[in-house]
Amino acid sequence: MRAVTGKMDLNRIAFIGRTFREYAKLFNLNRKVLQSGDILDCPAGASSFTAEAALMGYDVAAADIQYGTPADRLIDKACKDTAYALEQFKKVRDSYDWSFYKTPELHATERMKALVNFSGDFSEGLKAGRYVQARLPKLPFADDSFKLVLSSHFLFLYGNRLDFSFHMDCIREFMRVAPEARIYPLMGLDGKEYPALDRLISALKAECFSAGRQKVPFTFIPGGDKMLRVSR
């Protein structure tokens, strides 16, 4: 593993995606968890977790602010943002732990697999209700609509752009719609843990939630092998 020598410099919150294989590692998912009930991916971006999970027979939905965009424009945005993010990765490739992806080329392949599977499922999935437009920190779902919320590469990754109250409000909303939420990563684009994480965990515990870091079998950002697990 190499030490961090640089950082990602994304000038926007990128609409890119991850695959089912990645989610299984990011959130320490197993068959028992996947079969336990409805799962919400939020914000899901262009991830193919929902598309792939649906084919496997799991009950999964995805929510994202961008899902109100016409499909052709949304997929065009996903293509451009994915290309942009991959270009930024090239500039700091030595800053990352490649034990999971093995090479930058295979990492790019994973990004494109997510994009292709998401693009192929989005229009039909939108009609079927698998994809729902939602703007955090408010979700258009009834209390306890899900058993688990997964939140990938948003809150803490862009922690320098999202204030503490927003983080708390989002997690409270996750707890309203499900008894458990898992959030990954805990690191920002600078490769450092979200600086207010201990404060956030303490605030959640003060509201009678169970909250803490939990190790996961995945690392890309060095040291980024933990998720935040919150439950009630």
Residue 12 confidence (pLDDT):
67
Residue 4 confidence (pLDDT):
36
Half-sphere exposure of 122 (CA within 13 A, CB side): 27
Residue 230 confidence (pLDDT):
98
Confirm whether 25 is domain-assigned. Answer: yes
Q: Looking at residue 219, which CATH number applies to its domain?
A: 3.40.50.150
Confirm whether 37 is domain-assigned. Answer: yes
Confirm whether 28 is domain-assigned. Answer: yes
Confirm whether 86 is domain-assigned. Answer: yes
Q: How many CB atoms lie within 10 A of CB 72?
A: 10
User: In 3D, which of 206, 220, 211, 72 has the Cα closest to residue 152?
Assistant: 220
Provide the domain count of the chain. 1
Residue 7 confidence (pLDDT):
55
For residue 35, report the phi and psi dihedrals to the nearest 5 degrees: -90, 0
Q: Which residue(s) pair with 181 in the sheet?
A: 149, 230
Supply the range of the domain harboring residue 150: 20-231
- In sequence order, the 6+-apart residues with CB closer than 8 A to the CB of 128 are none
Confirm whether 2 is domain-assigned. Answer: no
Confirm whether 14 is domain-assigned. Answer: no
Q: What is the pLDDT of residues 173-200, one digit of tens each?
A: 999 999 999 999 999 988 899 999 999 9
Confirm whether 176 is domain-assigned. Answer: yes
The percent of residues above 90 in pLDDT, for the chain, comes to 83
Confirm whether 13 is domain-assigned. Answer: no
Q: What is the pLDDT of residues 35-63, one digit of tens each?
A: 988 999 999 999 999 999 999 999 999 99
Which residue is listed with tokens 């409270």? 172
Q: pLDDT below 70 — which residues of the chain?
A: 1-12
Residues 3/69, Cβ–Cβ less than 8 Å: no
Residue 160 confidence (pLDDT):
84
